Amino acid sequence: MIIRFPWLISRRKLIFNCIFEILLIILLNKFIFFDYLKFAQNIDVFTISFIPFWLLISYIIGRYSYEDFILKNNKFLIFIKLFLLTLISSFLTLFFVFLLSYNINLNNYNHFDKIILSYSTFVSFSISFIQLPLILKLIRNTNLKEKWVFLGSKNMFNLIKKEMKWCRKNIQIIYKDLDSSFSKSEIKKTTGIFFDNLNNLDNEYFNKFILIQSKGVKFIDLKLWCENYLQRFPPEILSAEYMISGNFKKPQSSFQLRIKRIGDILFSIFLLLCTSPIILISGILIYLEDRKNIFYKQERVGLNQKTFTLYKLRTMKINAEEGIPRWSAINDNRVTKVGKILRKTRIDELPQLLCVIRGDMSLIGPRPERKVFDMKLENCVPFYNFRYILKPGLSGWAQVNYSYGASIEDSKRKLSFDLYYLRNLSIWLDFLIFLKTLRIIFLRKGSSPLQ
């Protein structure tokens, strides 16, 4: 299986900024803050151990969400926000580094608490000050719109324009038919042209597009454009031929899948051990609220459309559906008081780690749906069953990019993300989804339905 990285290319600015920060931290610790690090027996070991925690925590708390830094174009406010987030990252990073005791000798320095405070403040201020011009440039680049021209049917254009609401990039798309002319100024301002179907072009159209392409304008197929810029595949743009021609083929004996399974087992056991006190406390609170069952089990559809039993901490009242299955909604009165907290923090999902260990689920994959909803969605959403060529997941590409699904339209949109995941399946994409999952849990996003 060929490993694809369109999701990585779209994050090249973030990667560049991370590399820039790594170099800053190394230089600051090596040449400027060396005297402040007398508690570390080996400055190089301390720096190396500091960096991964720094990057992870910075990502989780939102230091790399540049669009969130735009505060009325006020550079001072941007710097203050960046400095505060950087300071939090520094404190938390030092905590984890000291927790693991990487060559830290606390006897080497008196007034240890003061030196930690001064080190964190100086590092945060220095990085924020040096990094500010880069952040401002990244913000300006984020605000620059790419201009793409679509060639195809008007209905397809309207569909793609509607889907642009969930696009990560700032893109403007305009419609043109085959007979439309392109002025020199239009060609200069156009990032590229994407098309639905240009088969059987006659020589007149072919020569016109070749001339436009020779002037530096990119031509790209609609499916590839959606993969690179929407980072999903709206099912309406796909054909049966495209689906069965190997574009979404599951690797039968892939080394990646074996590594994925080993990672599922090890991480699930580790997470269960770490979160067992949280599960215990949550269970007690659930029982104290209404003296009813703590756990909730439900039949879900899994790999190859086989059903399995999924376990969760109960967040709704007993017999909440009254025999009529329905999706959750905003301010759902069936959710208990404790359940609202558990859903917001995703704690109710933790018992599903048992399903992962058992082999019914994976940590990362399409979310499993109930059979009663599956039967309806199979008839309403094109290619819906393709999501079951892999094990369902506790988290997934759809979960970290879209809010809680509670309608047929939501399910269709989430399928578009699942298809993207199947197309680009890799351990590295799983790792990105894992980091994004931590981030949305920390920021408490995406746990409520859109309607």
Per-residue pLDDT of the chain (451 residues; tens, 9 = 90+): 445 677 777 777 788 888 888 888 888 777 776 666 655 666 677 778 888 999 999 988 888 887 777 776 688 888 888 899 999 998 898 888 877 765 555 555 555 566 677 778 888 888 888 888 888 877 776 666 788 999 888 999 999 998 888 777 778 899 988 888 888 888 888 889 999 877 777 788 888 888 888 888 889 999 999 998 899 999 999 988 888 877 776 665 577 788 889 999 999 999 999 999 999 999 999 999 888 889 988 899 999 899 999 999 998 888 776 667 777 767 777 888 898 888 888 899 999 999 999 999 999 999 998 888 888 888 888 899 888 988 999 999 999 988 776 678 888 889 999 999 998 888 889 999 998 998 888 877 755 555 5
Please report, as a single letter, which amino acid is at residue 288: L
Determine the length of the chain: 451
Bridge partner residues of 193 (DSSP): 149, 219
Contact indicator for 108, 38 with CB cutoff of 8 Å: yes
How many H helices and E strands in the chain?
17, 8
C-alpha 363/C-alpha 268 separation (Å) is: 8
Q: Which CATH fold topology does 146-230 show?
A: Rossmann fold (3.40.50)
The residue among 52, 222, 85 whose CA lies nearest residue 152 is: 222
C-alpha 230/C-alpha 147 separation (Å) is: 14
C-alpha 275/C-alpha 382 separation (Å) is: 38
Contact indicator for 59, 439 with CB cutoff of 8 Å: yes
pLDDT of 1: 43
C-alpha 104/C-alpha 119 separation (Å) is: 15
C-alpha 84/C-alpha 63 separation (Å) is: 10
C-alpha 80/C-alpha 75 separation (Å) is: 9
Backbone angles phi, psi at 298, to 5 degrees: -150, 145
Number of neighbours of residue 321 by Cβ within 10 angstroms: 10
The residue among 342, 358, 364, 335 whose CA lies nearest residue 278 is: 342
Residue 392 neighbours by CB under 8 Å, 6+ apart:
300, 301, 302, 303, 360, 361, 362, 365, 366, 367, 368
pLDDT of 245: 79
Domain assignments of the chain as residue spans, ordered by start: 6-143, 146-230, 255-443
pLDDT of 444: 72
Residue written as token pair 């000291």:
98
Please report, as a single letter, which amino acid is at residue 349: E
The residue among 424, 433, 418, 423 whose CA lies nearest residue 368 is: 418
The residue among 232, 196, 219 whose CA lies nearest residue 400 is: 232
Q: Per the structure block, which two tokens stand in for 347?
A: 């704690």
pLDDT of 106: 55
Helices (H), 215-352: 222-225, 240-242, 255-290, 337-345
Bridge partner residues of 404 (DSSP): 449
Q: Is 23 exposed, middle or buried, given 0-12, 13-18 or 19+ CB atoms closer than 10 A?
A: exposed
C-alpha 333/C-alpha 173 separation (Å) is: 41
C-alpha 87/C-alpha 5 separation (Å) is: 32
Half-sphere exposure of 435 (CA within 13 A, CB side): 16
